[in-house]
Chains A and B, each alone.
Chain A
């Protein structure tokens, strides 16, 4: 067993952020000290990695297991199997009857749930700290002992189809988003909805679910994260006892295709249900792990400056000055194993014109590409981003989600701790270079949500 605790303390010390003072028109703006997540790590001989975020605020712990598998890892023709299996993980083992997992947690005054994305699948319980061992024992149990029967699987498949109707099919905006993702990434990986396509979901059964489970659910493909009223010693001891005996399993390394759809593309959804039009444009972009990864930090700052707040360039131009939109924003997330996208969205004002909105956004983008990002803009954007770390530390669930997402998309605890420093170090030249590399019209998907033609 290797423990990274000692090595990490050094990193933590190095992670202290200086607060550079930057002169601006309105006087000195100081970057806030975000502080650091108090985080400790360990790993077990079978490959399970542990992350512990102690906090004594309330006598409560959040226990999570993240698997390095998601919708983008599904076999061809089995879209939705990762998410379906997430549901089926509540259907019992030889020791915990179907449906009992959540009831046992509730009887202890706890709550539990699970989630699936393209890159990861997570299971979590929040319970009184004296129930940590109980939930850990059950989570370890279903890591290896899941039992599935037709009786349980068939109704749950209908549940998954109803979930898809609620989230996607009843929402024109969600249907458009699905089409735009497919246009961007093609009918593969991130271009396939995590919920799956209904025709393929209907063909999923016990054999597909069990095969997927055997392939990916293993201690060496999992990350244990515990936050709250506990210590790394306690968590490690309990993890040794409950997760330790589970055998390692060969899990093939995951791959993500660098291919994408045929770009540029315009995706239009005219839908009689639509009352409020919406415009969007997404540019194919690198992530921390794929593409021109050197731009990943600068792109985050660029998104803040362009459209991260009510004092961003887009909001001021489209919403305040031109009054042609009621919202205008930009967004970018670098946290993915494969490629990502840098997106713009705007809601036209009542009686507004979607073409004018598009032209105004692109005018701002062109202006941005020509340079002239000010130091003050950069500092304010960074301030807002670093403040989010302070507030994230105030919540029991934020830290575990940040670390879970990072560790299941190819990054490390040290990467997370270094994030504020890396953001603080981004320069104007880097922002402009990143924007020029990514905001290329030939690599965009434009989406229009419109009412039906009358």
Chain B
């Protein structure tokens, strides 16, 4: 290019000095409490705070048909009163302890988190115990949160991102439980009864596959008994049905294109392809491929082609996600109606190019540099470290995984990436959903 461009000294330095491994940055201890609760602990006394993340087997796949959103509503109702305390009293106790307690429903797990001040740990953990073991399920709280949930679902119907995600989910998974919405629909949420919530709580609030991560200003002697207090009284729980096997939609030449008409100036396009599961041998190759293609923010090919070179969108990105019974590769872009067809064509061409040629050696090296080096960036609070520890356990990884991850990534070759790309980026398996008033796109169905 221009000969005046002189690399700064560190540009050369980087080539020889890869970022230091950050695995040593945290010391993960796999432990068992006196009462038999297994957990991972990272001690960190930077701030007098303790974060606990946990989850158990369950999730929205257990919602009865026609009552989608029930487990999600259970998560909302669970901190609305427990034991002798009604909703307002229970919130007040959380405020008094300055504790932050919350629950969530995923597709395949039910979980929660507690962030607390070290000095208020006993009273904070007692609130978690009460919520898990003596939830009140007051009719008032259910109706109040049902109204709020329905209002939230309606607001989602105004938002292109949420409209598109729902349509893509349906188109990708069809009748499989993964295609159902974790938060349900206005009609299904209206049908949920108190008895439904109690039945779901009995099945899910158990020690079945309980995963616990603790990070912060504490130690095993102190936190073990507190975990027994929080989780010890939960029943061991019976076996839960697994999600059925997922078979992707049959291939179709050129893929599928669905359009959801909405009167908005900018179209949002979401694209999905069947992906791979977390335990797939190609996981790290696919991770590198995704980084180079669309996962790497301003460094990715999609961002360069769609945003930097042509100004077609604020962003264009891709990601890998996974369930117990399958995975997805998804990409997204938002461009004015008149030019969205161009954005989609560019992205599709990039898929094809990646499947044909894979990545360059330089791209491979740079992707590894980021993927190895960026791990430490996520260790910026007790909550984010607890989140990492929780996810590692869900994924079935070992406590020393962070040390091995670097090697697993560095072992990936350009040929591995090309193999993963060819496996994933198949034109005839592509599903595209566009929300807006796109010009020049013909839906296939």
Chain A residues near B423 (CB, 8 Å)? none
Known A55-B46, A158-B312: A94·B96 in contact at CB below 8 Å = no
The CA-CA distance from A396 to B379 in the complex, in Å, is 9
A4-12, A41-49, A115-123, A163-171 - interface stretch? A163-171
User: Distance in Å from the Cβ of B162 to the closest Cβ of chain A?
Assistant: 11
Known A106-B297, A159-B314: A273·B264 in contact at CB below 8 Å = yes
A357-365, A386-394, A416-424 - interface stretch? A386-394
The CA-CA distance from A128 to B92 in the complex, in Å, is 41
Known A311-B95, A347-B151: A111·B8 in contact at CB below 8 Å = no
Contact check, B376 vs A311: say whether CB atoms are below 8 A apart: no
A27's nearest neighbour on chain B, judged by CB, is B96
Q: B272 in the interface, Cβ–Cβ < 8 Å? A: no
The CA-CA distance from A377 to B369 in the complex, in Å, is 52
Q: A245 in the interface, Cβ–Cβ < 8 Å? A: no
Contact check, B100 vs A106: say whether CB atoms are below 8 A apart: no
Chain A residues near B374 (CB, 8 Å)? 109-111
A130's nearest neighbour on chain B, judged by CB, is B20
Interface size class of B (residues with CB under 8 A): 35 or more
Partner of A272, one of B4, B263, B304, B308: B263
Known A108-B14, A323-B144: A276·B154 in contact at CB below 8 Å = yes
The CA-CA distance from A276 to B144 in the complex, in Å, is 16
Q: A107 in the interface, Cβ–Cβ < 8 Å? A: yes
User: Distance in Å from the Cβ of A174 to the closest Cβ of chain B?
Assistant: 11
Contact check, A162 vs B264: say whether CB atoms are below 8 A apart: no
Chain A residues near B158 (CB, 8 Å)? 171-173, 273-276
- Which of B19, B150, B160, B334 has the most C-beta atoms of chain A within 10 angstroms of its own C-beta? B19
Partner of A159, one of B1, B47, B307, B381: B307
User: Distance in Å from the Cβ of B437 to the closest Cβ of chain A?
Assistant: 11
Contact check, A390 vs B47: say whether CB atoms are below 8 A apart: yes
**Residue interface bits A347-361, CB-to-B below 8 A is 1, else 0:** 111100000000000
The CA-CA distance from A133 to B335 in the complex, in Å, is 37
Q: Which of A180-232 touch B at CB < 8 Å?
A: none
Contact check, B147 vs A276: say whether CB atoms are below 8 A apart: no
Q: B244 in the interface, Cβ–Cβ < 8 Å? A: no
The CA-CA distance from A387 to B275 in the complex, in Å, is 43
Contact check, A57 vs B44: say whether CB atoms are below 8 A apart: yes
Chain A residues near B14 (CB, 8 Å)? 104, 107-108
**Residue interface bits B106-144, CB-to-A below 8 A is 1, else 0:** 000000000101001000000000000000000010011
Contact check, B380 vs A95: say whether CB atoms are below 8 A apart: no
Chain A interface residue count, CB cutoff 8 Å, equals 82
Q: Which of B163-218 touch A at CB < 8 Å?
A: none
Chain A residues near B154 (CB, 8 Å)? 275-276, 350
Q: A293 in the interface, Cβ–Cβ < 8 Å? A: no
B residues with CB within 8 A of A: 1, 4-8, 10-11, 14, 19-20, 22, 25-26, 44, 46-49, 87-88, 91-92, 95-96, 98, 100, 115, 117, 120, 140, 143-144, 147-148, 150-152, 154-155, 157-160, 262-266, 268, 296-299, 304, 307-314, 334-336, 366, 369-377, 379-383
Sample of 11 more A-B contacts, CB < 8 Å, known A57-B380, A60-B379, A126-B380: A35-B48, A58-B25, A103-B299, A106-B369, A107-B366, A126-B377, A276-B154, A326-B148, A326-B152, A390-B98, A396-B380
The 6 closest A-B pairs by CB, nearest first: A109-B373, A158-B311, A155-B311, A387-B98, A102-B298, A396-B380
Please name 24 pairs of A and B residues whose Cβ atoms are closer than 8 Å in the assembled complex, sorted by A: A35-B48, A58-B25, A99-B304, A108-B369, A109-B375, A109-B376, A110-B374, A128-B20, A137-B10, A154-B311, A155-B308, A159-B314, A162-B314, A170-B160, A171-B159, A273-B264, A275-B157, A276-B158, A309-B95, A319-B148, A320-B144, A326-B144, A326-B151, A383-B98
